[in-house]
Each structure stands twice: as structure tokens, then as C-alpha cells.
Structure 1
């Protein structure tokens, strides 16, 4: 493979529980009603998309204000410590020694930079993309296609490492070989998991030999 492109939330950082807690509280505090499928829908959305969705379920503020409020709270949580996934740092550094790495995340640029800096992983990635920087969030392929473009490689020659349903669909739509590392609390839907080239129990199973 020419490159390996990681997702961030749920793959390298255990942020989905934090995102859910922060956005649930924000919805409750600003007049909205959290729906049974809200968390599933939000996973993979770009900042503009999820802010618009929270407005649709009753949050009284405009989407731009919603986004700023939620991201400010997420940044405050991360200042108290970034909840990295098991073996995330070791895996990225191991692969970076022999492979070109990229990142395609639904997180805003501000939070991507905070996480990678806190983990000491910034220099491991040749290119990083936030879906704020492309037209559509996941499950559209835009973020993964942009990551491949910035890396200067054909997406069909890339491996993507994902955990969520929308992330798996996004990487598959981009033409990449998708490795699924399902999150234990937020497992992907069976139809999305079926798109995976490989399904791994954890990041420690992601080896240079597997993606070579």
C-alpha cells in the first residue's frame, strides 16, 4: 500500500463518549431534545453538519453559535487530558517508521491539532484533513479523497483505519482498503462492517506487515 490513513475519533482517541456527553448536555441546556438515534447520526458528520442537525432537533441557537459552544467545551475537556485509545501512540509511531501516514477526521481542525500535539504524534502524519475543509462529511468520501490528494497517492493504494459506520462507508466510497477496529461502546452497523477488508480487535493488531 502507498499510505495508511487513520480516522481520529474512536480510533486514536476515545472521544466519542466525550462528544456524546458534551453534545447531550448542550442540547438539554439549549431547548433541544436528544433523539434515540442522535448519537449514531452524529458520528462522522462535519462540524457544519452536526451543528445544523442539533439546531433541527430544537437547539435554539444558530448553527455557528452551536458549533463554537460545543467545540469550546470539547477543548476544555481535552485540556484536562486527551483520552487516547489503548496502544494508539505506539501503533502510530510503529507504522510511521515504515509507512506514509495520513489522517481524515470529522473533528474540527482546532481539536485535531490539540490531540496530535498532546499525544506527540503531529510529526508522524504527512497530511491531516478535517471534514471542515471539504464539502461533505462522512459517509461521503470527501475527507479520505482529500487526504490521498494531499499525500500525493491514489486512494485505491491506501489503507484506511476506521471504527464507525459512517467512517467505514466513507473510506470504502473513496476506494480505499478499509480496516475496521470497532469501538466497543459504539459498534458499527453490520452492513457497514461488511465493507471492511480486515476487522481487527484492537490497534495492537495493526502491524506494518498487514498494510505492507
Structure 2
């Protein structure tokens, strides 16, 4: 029986990747690092800031990585004031509430970003269970963030469905044993399938999603 829906944040609740790309580009131009779509997809999307800045600025010490990460996140929050929930998300959350299905957030983003984005999207009260990067070590692609959410929800992996947009997030969800949908805001359907997604959707209106959810909710 379906008891919970567990969501990643960036690229899943909201198509925020273009804003993240812009923030990385602005902050890293001082180091002569050009952030384009290819770099964003291969070295940034879904990864922790620790891993991102170690990869992009290997010549700098960890302390400077942390300083750049803080600057990048502050820049992102400044830029991300007009984002809207991904199409169909609000209807899905309403359906979950009406059916007594819990919802949770699992993100590699820091707490400041999670609070900011949920406020901007008008979703601050919709996610009673939230797991951010400060609360778990390691983050995705390790399954620990999802295992932590399952523990807090008080359910088993087979009783939940996860939504992810990145390779690291999908690998984390699948390693935790969850049936998982890939949200196609950054990857293609084939790319999602290759990293283990059970299904792929463009928006939360997709019929393929609702067929699964309604079946599992009725089981």
C-alpha cells in the first residue's frame, strides 16, 4: 500500500536548474571557470557542494571551497524569487493529503536553500518531514538521506514512491529500495532509464504517474 511520496527539491519540485547554473557562473567567473550546460550536467547537477567545488576548484583548499559554496547559495537565493512549482505538483500534494499519504523532502541542498525555496513556492507547510544535507553524511548518491526519511516517516521502502531529477538522486533512491520516477527537467527519458528509474515523467500531470499511484493507493 502506498503510504508516502518522497521528493527531491531542485529540478523536481521546481525547475530551478537554470537559476543554479546562472549562480554558479556568476560566482566562479572570478576563478576563470566557465559554467555552461555541459559542465552543469556532468559536474554539478545532483551533487553535494563539497563534491562540486572539489571538482571545479581542485587547486584551492577546502576552506575556500566552503566560502565559494556559501557565496553561490546566497547568490542563488537572491536570484530565485520568481520560481513556481512544477506543473501538477500542487494537485499531487492535494491528492496525497486527501488520501492520507504522507509527503517528505530529501535534498542535497542546505537548510537555508530548502527553507527559501519552500517559502518562494508556497510549500513551507506541505512537507512535515524534511532531510537536508546538514542532517546526513554522506549525501546522495548514498542512500542514507532516503533511509533517514523512511525512518522518520515510519514506513518501509516498498510503501513509498520517490521523485528525482538527477543521476545521484536516482541512484540514492534506488539504493534505498524505492520505486522511483525520474522528472525530466534535466535528463532525457533514456538517461533516466539507464540509471535505474522505474518511470519517467515530464510533469506531475503525466498519466503514467497517475496510473501507478492510483493502483498502489488502492492496493
Tell me what 1:8 maps to.
9
Q: Which runs of 5+ in 2 are unaligned?
A: none
In the alignment, structure 1 segments of 5+ residues that lack a partner are none
Q: What secondary structure does 2:46 align onto?
A: coil
Cα distance, 1:149–1:14 mapped onto 2, change above 3 Å:
same
Q: Deviations over 1:98-148 (max 9, x none)?
A: 210011112211111111122222222230111232112222212111111
Query: Are the aligned partners of 2:164 and 2:180 in contact in 1 as well (CA < 8 Å)?
Result: yes
TM-score for the superposition, normalised by structure 2: 0.83
> Normalising to structure 1: TM-score of the pair?
0.86
Which position in structure 1 is the counterpart of 2:193?
193
2:54–2:62 Cα contact (<8 Å) kept: no
The 1:25–1:145 alpha-carbon spacing in structure 2 relative to 1, beyond 3 Å, is: same
Change (3 A) 1:89 1:59: farther
The count of corresponding residues between Structure 1 and Structure 2 is 209
Per-residue CA deviation, residues 68-110 of structure 1 (Å, 9 max, x unaligned), is 10011011112x3224322333332332332100111122111
Using a 3 Å threshold, how does the CA distance of structure 1 residues 19 and 210 change in structure 2: closer, same or farther? farther
> Where do residues 42-57 of structure 1 align in structure 2 (5 Å cutoff)?
42-56=44-58
Q: Deviations over 1:146-197 (max 9, x none)?
A: 11122121223211011222221111011100112211xx215846424222
